[in-house]
Structure 1
């Protein structure tokens, strides 16, 4: 029997080695941590609790799924993934988003064409006086413009949670119809699936959208955000920045709150904009601090790829500008980074992510230190972060270990950016009196950056000389802040008081006109300026979902209720970069109305030229204010004058005048000067020809009226070509 057992081990030992080698570098530390916790959860109640708190999973039938980014080889056949019951959603070059059964996760990672799997990381949710501060009212009124701009013909997308779909703020005031044209609730398990996606439910008609009512009944974040960007309730002062835009909404919640689902939501909305042949801007008032903060994550790479002419993303910078959640140091063999972790009362846990420079090698070490005895009560091994390691420690006795809890450390050299990465999760039930948890980072010469994410956790030196204190630089979050093309928005204080429905006056601690104390700061870890711009973000009053009227917190910040057709609708005050971001989203929508082909780079160029500078922002761009405070009106004039004309202006007014027949599918062209061999063409924004007519010779003052009822509503390009002159303009049909 012993010989047989020995033979069995010999037979399988090479297989186990092959299996380990085939997975090396293929799964992120966070993914490997998930698999480890999943295996431990069957026997360890504490591990099961951490599993549910740290990771996003979804159970369907008897199987558990996780969302993931999958990096494939160039010639990979995705049918191989599908044959293993993997559901493919977004495809962007060689990166796909997928829902993978956890029981085949390692099998998928071992496939030759699979280069990398990153499972989704959890994300967090991050107008009366606000509009005039950014000169939005001038945009609406058309001051020094041919007409007002309110986002007509533009799709505003919102990926968020806490929608009341039927709020009065989302109706067209003139047509009395719902302006929400698409909803994808990612959490519904019954209902029609969106084309190309394998989860959630899609609502396409006004009836179905109104019947759905809400995505969640304990949240209003999304209703508030949508109202800021695009609310249209003119009965009061709280309508939004782009009140004539169309809305496409994606709802996520506790069962789909990861960055993979967010990316799918972005792709879904851009797909809809493509179908409708309309420009689109999407708001992401969401964030996370797991990742390299340099734009190299798979989320940032795909978002960069999805953006382009008429496809813009706007994101919140984050609300950690007042929390020292970042630490950094230029280390070398004789100079070590030494820092402590600080936990707020009642929340002794943290998700810690350290990144070095490309090709840099370093080691990391965790400890528990007693300040009174000046002795280490617990000291981990030196863990080489440039190699793939998985190390766990269980601290069982507060008297001998200094704390009771679990520490997990996962390391690798990330193949996407060649940076050394150490991901750490630390959960404590008890930390003894006078004891401090901390870490060392030591190694080759180079700069290391670390972030801690966990209900106010931070880095501190505990007033010990030679130790490194945390700071608020580099606190720009992943999702809304670190991509190379996304427009990242910080917040400044625009209002500091309000009166709630009970008549109680409430005040904000943020000083008017200054940067909000919570607004996260740049730069990114690769040195790019962030945020790009700032907008009003304190005490912003916008629509509230009626699902939260009995919530004690939300009830205290409600400011107004109105009754329409025997139904009550509510408004309330919130603050954060979550509120500043949709302000800019609405502004970009008005700019896209003027020029549907603006790129993210065009928008940043306009922001650089037109953002307001004052005594608070300083005269130079910086990592607090970006280019300055938004000036929507000045920016719109820059778009019209230097990036193309508004829809009813002529590029060559001396030769041709175009008259828009508003509310119809037609327009008229008046020829000021004669021309020969004239041809009129109409293109969609993708350059496809939709209509063509040869007029031949035209005379002075000749007028041609064109009606195109067969076209979908949207923005189109009108081209007039002739021997003597050419003309191009835009129309909304």
Structure 2
């Protein structure tokens, strides 16, 4: 049996020597694809799509050229490609292709006092023991977001020229001369284009200046009004405006990987260290960082020092939409209600080792106070479905739900099972029930055997079947003692945000009061919000850990009620409709969520890289974790809400930089952070049950 093991030690300072006897290996099986596996070539649109592929890059390049596709770039055996959609199935069946992923999930934007809360002012002032002030000079901050209002004075220098080096706008490819040849889509605008008045980019209006807001927090210089200076006011800026309204076959994760590649390569060409802020994401996926785009981003981060990626944790911490079944010989069950005329449960993930002994069944219940069960399908296991790891397609099955009274078919449930992940070591299951007969009923997922899995379902943020929480009293209906209710753990956005190499950020409330555009004193309450005390966790800040149990978020920073640079036309609209959200001068509005706390940490990373340009992501994580603040709100840290606590920039930048401390005997296991004062993690890939591990701990 192979699985990933994470061993954690807390509350001591450890220097660790690890000796182990074990064979490490990687599976060579390929990935399979979702709905596309069941559509004929003639039904597919005649379009090209982006994808991430794990394959021999030389053979891949030759094959794509024959088909009119393109290999954009590669990191090891991971490649970002553009391919005719009708050729994807043929590519997937080639023997040298190990895995391919085309994501169809919509990506989302995840949305002074800030400088005080995060202890940045002493850094700007060069306060002792610092030998100089730090402001982000000679460091690049890249953003993957909705765009940026380049006309805002907060992004101009003292001469009136732009501080924005480049904008790569994914939302349009109208001018062939501006399409970057390496990637084949979008428009690239240079600083010269901006200064000469030739740039036509606009921060996407539908998102009310989200990208401008996050850019202002990390890198605004306050020039517009003399207020609301960002964390790194002299950093250079690169914006990748990601497209948020892809069609069904658009690949969001692939476009994010392209954006990371673009920013890091441009920074390299200028010889500058770089931090990238990603305040976008979605709530679909396994939340373990093993998808191919995440693995490619991981490779880019680790390719050289002077690279850091920061990400929003997500804004779903106030929603109970995560479900885990800890399966035992009794029957555990959970009900789902129809949404949009169907019951669609499509985010069930579990490691192959943890799901092989689970049996599943779908049952039908009347949607009444007792949730009366009236019929059920036979139990089945993943082994019954005979999924071949090298078959190149998912398994599609139909389960009949039979009435207890007479055995007639009440409903049918379509089932999809496939393997996922860079190592093809987890299952992904989908259930789909439709038809006129489902109205007035709820459907339950029933499990028995041994093992566990995680599932996410919500009608609000995912457009999926809502999980039933209004259940009968178990003391009057004993069956409901075995009912599994959802919770708000593991509510992170999924993909690169779950990587150990990415700095994932939670959100706490920044301020309670302010003076608005009309010079009126405002509070959270007077502006129409339920009050949350400054310093308290944001109600929506997503909780960890990852599906594999890795600690996320890493750190928390101020986010809610943070004033920042506005998309100017959006600010003008707010002035007429809701002036309490706009600051005096009309150039800044408040925003919130982890979208606004993430650029706080990204801005601090720019200050950190200014002082330590050769640091890597592990150095940065070690410094911010070891100096993070705890208080009455955080409680004991680390925890799933706050990570290691609140960012303390001044304390973190004072720590001595001692170089690369990556303790890894090989890529199959890693130790981080080492040394530590709080928590030590040992990640072992493909751990063989029964293997011997000897750990020697030296404490001080």
Q: Please give the TM-score of this superposition, normalised by the length of structure 2.
A: 0.76
1:404, CA displacement in angstroms?
A: 12
Residue 133 (structure 2) aligned to one of 135, 148, 156: 148
Kindly indicate whether the alpha-carbon contact (under 8 Å) linking 2:41 and 2:86 is maintained by their aligned counterparts in 1.
no
Which residue pairs with 2:557 in the alignment? 535
The alpha-carbon distance between structure 1 residues 578 and 350, as it changes in their structure 2 partners (threshold 3 A), is: farther
Corresponding position: 1:64 with 2:35: no
Deviation of the 1:25 alpha carbon: 6.2
Is the 2:291–2:420 Cα contact (8 Å) retained in structure 1?
no
Q: Partner of 1:267 in structure 2?
A: 261
Distance in 2 (alpha carbons) for counterparts of 1:619 and 1:364: 38
Preserved CA contact (<8 Å) 2:504 2:553:
yes
**Structure-2 separation of matches of 1:94 and 1:465:** 49
Name 2:666's counterpart in structure 1. Answer: none
SS in 2 for 1:593: helix
Moved more, 266-275 or 450-459: 450-459
3-state SS of paired residue (1:459):
coil
1:340 aligns with 2:335: yes
Q: Counterparts of 2:174 and 2:354 in 1: how far apart (Å)? A: 48
Pairing partner for 1:459 from 439, 454, 467: 467
* DSSP-derived class of the 1:139 partner: helix
Alignment of 1:516-665 (within 5 A): 516-549=538-571, 555-556=577-578, 559-560=581-582, 570-638=587-655, 641-643=656-658
Which structure would you say has the larger RCO, counting Cα contacts within 8 Å and 6 or more residues apart? 2
SS at match of 2:427: strand
Listed as ranges, the matches of 1:116-265 within 5 Å are: 116-122=99-105, 123-126=107-110, 128-144=112-128, 145-172=130-157, 174-191=158-175, 192-208=178-194, 210=197, 211-219=199-207, 220-234=209-223, 235-253=225-243, 254-255=245-246, 258-265=252-259
Alignment: residue pair count = 586
What SS is found at the alignment partner of 2:556? strand
Contact 1:121 1:258 in 2 (8 A): yes
8 A contact 1:70–1:114 mirrored in 2: yes
Aligned to 1:98: 81
Aligned mates of 2:216, 2:576 — CA distance in 1: 16
Larger mean CA deviation between 622-631 and 418-427 belongs to 418-427
Conserved 8 A contact 1:127-1:542: no
- Seen in structure 2, the aligned counterparts of structure 1 residues 383 and 612 have a Cα distance that, compared at 3 Å, is same
2:499 corresponds to = 483
Q: Cα deviation per residue 1:53-83 (whole Å; 9 max; x = unaligned)?
A: xxxxxxxxx8323221111147744222222
State the secondary structure of the residue aligned to 1:218.
helix
Provide Cα deviations, 1:337-387, integer angstroms capped at 9, x if missing partner: 411236789998664232235363134444442144855567556554452
CA contact (8 A) 2:51 2:251 kept: no
Cα drift, residue 199 of structure 1: 1.2
Instruction: Indicate the residue corresponding to 2:10 in structure 1.
Output: none
Question: Residue 411 of structure 2 contacts residue 438 of structure 2 at CA under 8 Å; is this kept in 1?
Answer: no
Alignment-derived partner of residue 11 in structure 2: none
Q: Which moved more, 1:311-320 or 1:502-511?
A: 502-511
- Structure 1 residue 314 displacement after superposition: 0.3
Give, in whole Å, the separation in 1 of the partners of 2:459 and 2:505. Answer: 22
Q: What SS does the aligned partner of 2:79 have?
A: strand
Change (3 A) 1:613 1:75: same
Cα deviation for residue 89 of structure 1 reads 2.2
1:113 counterpart (96, 100, 106): 96
Q: Secondary structure, in 3 states, of the residue corresponding to 2:605?
A: helix
Q: By how many angstroms is 1:603 displaced? A: 0.8
Report the CA distance shift for 1:142/1:425 in structure 2 as closer, same or farther (over 3 A). Answer: farther
CA distance in 1, matches of 2:339, 2:156: 43
User: Following TM superposition, by how much is the alpha carbon of 1:484 offset from its aligned partner in structure 2, in angstroms?
Assistant: 1.8
Deviations 1:134-174 (A, max 9, x none): 111111111112221111100000001143222222111x2
Distance in 2 between residues matched to 1:127 and 1:140, nearest whole Å: 26
2:351 pairs with 1:356? yes
Structure 2 residue 301 is matched with structure 1 residue 307: yes
Query: For the Cα contact (< 8 Å) 2:557–2:598, is it kept in 1?
Result: yes
Matches within 5 A, 1:375-454: 375-376=372-373, 379=376, 382=379, 384-385=381-382, 387=387, 388-391=394-397, 408-414=414-420, 416-424=422-430, 426=432, 435-443=441-449, 445-452=450-457, 454=459
CA distance in 1, matches of 2:378, 2:496: 36
* Uncovered stretches (5+) of structure 1, i.e. residues with no partner: 1-23, 43-61, 564-568, 645-733
User: Is 1:89 the equivalent of 2:72?
Assistant: yes
- Post-superposition shift, 1:550? 7.1
Question: Deviations for 1:237-260, whole angstroms, at most 9, x for unmatched residues?
Answer: 212111100001101221366111
Judged with a 3 Å threshold, the aligned counterparts in structure 2 of structure 1 residues 223 and 351 are, in CA distance, closer, same or farther, namely farther
Between the aligned partners of 1:340 and 1:492, the Cα distance in structure 2 is 33
Q: Which residue of 2 aligns with 1:291?
A: 285
Q: Which ranges of structure 2 fall in alignment gaps of 5 or more residues?
A: 1-27, 388-393, 472-479, 660-700
Contact 1:337 1:468 in 2 (8 A): yes
Match of 2:366 among 370, 389, 395: 370
SS at match of 2:587: strand
Query: If you compute each CA radius of gyration, which structure gives the higher value, 1 or 2?
Result: 1
CA contact (8 A) 2:535 2:633 kept: yes
Q: Note if contact 1:384-1:411 (Cα within 8 Å) is conserved in structure 2.
A: no
